Amino acid sequence: MDRWMLGFSLVLSLVLSGWAEAGERYPTRPIRLVVGYTAGGSTDLAARTVAAHMEKTLGQPISIENRPGGNGAVGTGAVMKATPDGYTLVMTSGSILTVMPWTTDLGFDPLALSFIGSTHESLHVQLVRADSPWKTIQEMAVWAKANSGKLVHATSGGFGINDIGMAQLANAAGGFEYRTLPTGGGAEQILKLLSGDAHTEQNSAAPSLPHIRSGAVRPLLILTPAWPELEKMGVPLSKDVYGFTVRNLSSMAGPPGLPEDIRQTLEDALRKAMEDKTVLEQMYRAVGELIVYKSAKQIREEVKQVQAEHRAIGEQLGKVKK
């Protein structure tokens, strides 16, 4: 009888413990936010800024884990396979969301992610070192055509936003061949340019602006629809010179199948962070991109739209996978 009672008590204890844990409000332990790029780029800095505020709302720490590789594919792929319990998230960017699904066999569909919301859209600029002989984008294009395959362009790895922007530029400028130098992200790209390992690169505001403002690099072309600070410096827009633009979206997301109540809790925390004036000031100062909050529904629809636009460009350029 004593053994029976002991066994019953143990089972009852486990059941009650399970009920108690299930009844606890999410989150009950630390959250991991994966960034598929090296530290210091716009995706990384945006993730760190909003995570610091979301921690206060959620009552649990959020650690940033940088997992660079494949232009965001390594980090995003890991989160795609994670348990959908709200404790493993990812901050994605345009390459993985709108370009690589139709250029690369990823083994997953980014649209299957549980979208939480967007913090920013990255600005985009073509850069060379300050001591480069090219003062204009046309001069760079003339040299590249005369020296086929010798122009070295640093990218974030894989075939992503930087690559589709460069492919469009090469095509619009009359056609020239170039070589790519893959890196772990925007922060590493700018270092490869500064070290002389690359002749040029396309990058976002966060890693670029400090070096533009210091005079270490020279902006030749704005590839996004607008960039007021650089426009005031006289840097031309690609839409005016060559008739094309580049859009680099971003989103925080969870694994496929994230329960709606957990997903909504995270979206509410992200929205609250993006409504905070201090967070916005930090975002503008640290990230420097086009800071704009979009709900999960809004960013998912926009990703679908831009993915279709980029795929159409890829088909024209012959870059769509067979």
pLDDT digits (tens, 9 = 90+) for 37-47: 989 888 999 99
Q: Provide the residue-wise pLDDT of the chain in tens; the chain has 322 residues.
A: 455 554 445 444 444 444 444 458 999 999 999 999 989 888 999 999 999 999 999 999 999 999 998 889 999 999 999 999 999 999 999 889 999 899 888 999 999 999 999 999 989 999 999 999 999 999 999 999 999 999 999 998 777 888 889 999 999 999 999 999 999 888 899 999 999 999 999 998 889 999 999 999 999 999 999 999 999 999 999 999 999 999 989 999 999 999 999 999 999 999 999 999 999 999 888 888 889 899 999 999 999 999 998 898 888 878 888 7
Dist CA 47 CA 144 (whole Å): 37
Dist CA 296 CA 290 (whole Å): 18
* Contact yes or no for 120/91 (Cβ under 8 A): no
Which residue ranges make up each domain of the chain?
Answer: 29-121+248-308, 125-241
* Contact yes or no for 107/119 (Cβ under 8 A): no
Q: pTM to 2 decimals?
A: 0.79
Dist CA 237 CA 221 (whole Å): 6
Which homologous superfamily is 125-241 in? Periplasmic binding protein-like II (3.40.190.10)
Dist CA 127 CA 97 (whole Å): 24
Residue found by looking up tokens 């922060």 in the block: 187
Query: Is-same-fold flag (29-121+248-308; 125-241)?
Result: yes
Q: Which two tokens stand for residue 270?
A: 């992200």
Residue found by looking up tokens 């690589």 in the block: 100
Complete edge-to-edge strand list for the sheet that includes strand 250-254:
62-66, 31-35, 88-93, 250-254, 114-121, 290-295
Dist CA 148 CA 184 (whole Å): 26
Residue found by looking up tokens 């884990």 in the block: 65
The CATH class, in words, for 29-121+248-308 is: alpha beta
Dist CA 317 CA 138 (whole Å): 21
- Give the type of residue at 107: G
Question: At 207, phi and psi to the nearest 5?
Answer: -80, -20
Dist CA 51 CA 47 (whole Å): 6
